[in-house]
Chains A and B, each alone.
Chain A
């Protein structure tokens, strides 16, 4: 149990790597920078693999446990001065968050592909970034990202998960803005960060609601309590908590309406796009929802929301991807779309299928991005597919690996994407007795679009006539080994990762789903029970047809992939300079709308940011700022000044009263009176002693005469 016991070391390796980079990186050679950072990530991969292999034995020995859990120390608790609070049902609970780690099948899978893909991308980056400035900075950020991501995955409570959640957000920001000399990169970094803040607010609210409902934020405790039947299905508070969490997931995993940051995040270096914005970080939202599955199944409203948002995001982003010309942007919209698939799976209750798609997607999407990076590398920085073409013979490894990834994402059989995407579509069709079937059509249309835009990318890049300038053409060269070897490994995974989830209907055992069963099993039962309850009349005869239906659906989706491939082939396989876009030829307004991404950025600009005006009115944040500024200047300051003026008026009245009434009548009045009265008295005191004596004598004589004559 060595690896499980030291599981807390996993995030520590990249943390050390990042610390070394930040403190000493400036002085290190490029080779030692890459050695330290790649080694750190490689260690985490080995540790993760070890823990993963040890886990089944542990699970067998402790069947009642949800996973291996270890606590390093209490991070937030009553001894750090947090007061107790009352939960919803009136218990007094202490807010407590440990620096604790949870290893179960779910975090195990995530750990494995994050560290695995992370290692490959680190290796790739040593080649890709070799001629870039800020080499140590880049690797420091990457390691910091790995640390945050692993904290997020291994956390055993929502608070620690949030630490990782914010950490990956920060690293995403830093890496999108890696080329900070470019204004567009800085803007994109800000956009990503700010959009994520909206989601994070939702996460925090969800976290607090959970703490209030359950009296704990530890995953195992929350899950146990949620499964104990303490809460009814459809409980309002659970619905609110899960919706809040889903808002968080929408921000991090780029779902409608918060997806806008992800396409812009392509401003970052390509390995970053591969690692953070395709394979790992953006799946954090999926991870969090899957982690909270016990809560989500108690809230059908939230599940419906997740499924519908996922499906809409999938088709929305895929349709934009149809016409984009920047190779990385196509992939970015593809990522958003695939994330939509994952949420669709989660929303219909097929958690394992969603996680499976995350798993396979991590490989082929990372491969696509890295391949795109290799193409860009070969094209001397050119990203516009209109200026590419006919590269297949010049960069063979890149062409072959990217081709495999394209086959995988398009859902061509035996490649990884086929199994996971088909599983999702099948579950969407069959779950809850077909209540979600309308979403299947959306998912199906998305599959067609996916095949089309991916093969469009391949044909525009690797086939047709060369459309680049002569200079660029002259420089085309295959990338170094450090870049092509990760591509080949990922290509291998893109082919074979799907076999882990070979479905029952094709004679497999779907080991992936079975492995995840302890995490999700009971939820499946709850949902199925509910679905059966509402469909009792329909009976069970449907189940007999499932296999044939599944074959039919499988055939249909392969057909869609083939159709997309064919359409792309017809339109682009011989694209020369000034080739025509079929959509532009068929319906220019649609093309323009798609090319401009449905004008969502512009709409957000008007509605939320307020950089532009509608007539004289400014809406959004800036409008709000202006309105607040006006309010502050006129109402608040007016009140302040008004209060000042009133005080001043009163004070002048008071001053007058003091001066003339208090001082005049009360104080000076008696003084003036005394002074007036003193004048006659003063007249007597002229100061000549002899006069006084004379008056005395006269008085004396007067008295004498008076008494003598009386």
Chain B
């Protein structure tokens, strides 16, 4: 059994990222879309932490920033969602189509 290297981390992060993208693109529920965005961000975090194991602590610092950012983004996103729900009584993303021409 070979030693777990940087490549393994990257593959796991890539899988997470792809899963997140698929979630964002395919799910209709905005809550799930937001959760998928969290997946994408966490895939990035995983990458940063993995790289910081090899080249120093800067990566971990950045991942802290990203987590903070994700929290803020979730708060704003959920706030918009609640406002939207009050208007439309739906959380389906394909019904949010007012912003066309």
A interface, CB within 8 angstroms of B: 678, 681-682, 685-690, 693-694, 697
Contacts and interface: CB of A to CB of B under 8 A. Distances in A.
Contacts of B94: 688, 690
Contacts of A685: 99-101
Contact of B97 (A678, A688, A693): A688
27 contacts: A678-B101, A682-B100, A682-B101, A685-B99, A685-B101, A686-B97, A686-B100, A687-B96, A687-B97, A687-B98, A687-B99, A688-B93, A688-B94, A688-B96, A688-B97, A689-B93, A689-B96, A690-B24, A690-B26, A690-B33, A690-B93, A690-B94, A693-B24, A693-B25, A694-B25, A697-B21, A697-B25
Contacts of B25: 690, 693-694, 697
A694 B21 CA distance: 9
B19 to A, nearest CB: 13
B44 to A, nearest CB: 14
B1 to A, nearest CB: 31
Interface string B83-100: 000000000011011111
Given A690-B93, A693-B25, 4 more contacts: A681-B101, A682-B100, A686-B100, A687-B98
A682 B100 CA distance: 8
A689 B99 CA distance: 9
Contacts of A690: 24-26, 33, 93-94
A27 B24 CA distance: 114
Nearest to A678: B101
A697 B25 CA distance: 9
B80 to A, nearest CB: 12
Contacts of B26: 690
Interface centre among A681, A682, A686, A689 (most CB of B within 10 A): A689
A690 B99 CA distance: 13
Consensus secondary structure, chain A interface = helix
Contacts of A682: 100-101
A678 B100 CA distance: 13
A685 B99 CA distance: 8
A180 B98 CA distance: 92
A686 B24 CA distance: 18
A693 B99 CA distance: 14
A679 to B, nearest CB: 9
Interface in B47-101: 93-94, 96-101
Interface in B15-44: 21, 24-26, 33
Contacts of A694: 25
A685 to B, nearest CB: 5
B94 to A, nearest CB: 6
A686 B98 CA distance: 9
Contacts of A686: 97, 100
The 4 closest A-B pairs by CB, nearest first: A687-B100, A687-B97, A682-B101, A685-B100
Contacts of B101: 678, 681-682, 685
A690 B24 CA distance: 7
A700 to B, nearest CB: 9
A398 to B, nearest CB: 117
B47 to A, nearest CB: 15
Nearest to A683: B101
B24 to A, nearest CB: 6
Nearest to A692: B99
A378 to B, nearest CB: 115
A688 B95 CA distance: 8
Contacts of B33: 690
A688 B24 CA distance: 12
A243 B96 CA distance: 105
A437 B67 CA distance: 143
Contacts of A678: 101
Contacts of B24: 690, 693
Nearest to B30: A689
A578 B26 CA distance: 139
Contacts of A687: 96-100
A552 B93 CA distance: 144
A689 B100 CA distance: 10
Contacts of B93: 688-690
A693 B37 CA distance: 12
Interface centre among A685, A686, A688, A694 (most CB of B within 10 A): A688
A693 B21 CA distance: 9
A690 B98 CA distance: 13
Nearest to B97: A687
A697 B20 CA distance: 12
A577 B77 CA distance: 135
A676 to B, nearest CB: 14
A690 B97 CA distance: 10
A682 B26 CA distance: 24
A694 B23 CA distance: 11
Contacts of B21: 697
A681 B101 CA distance: 9
A477 B98 CA distance: 120
Contacts of A693: 24-25
B77 to A, nearest CB: 12
A682 B101 CA distance: 6
A578 to B, nearest CB: 118
Nearest to B94: A688
Contacts of B100: 682, 685-687
A685 B24 CA distance: 19
A73 B89 CA distance: 100
A304 to B, nearest CB: 104
Nearest to B28: A690
B37 to A, nearest CB: 10
Nearest to B101: A682
Nearest to B99: A687
A154 to B, nearest CB: 100
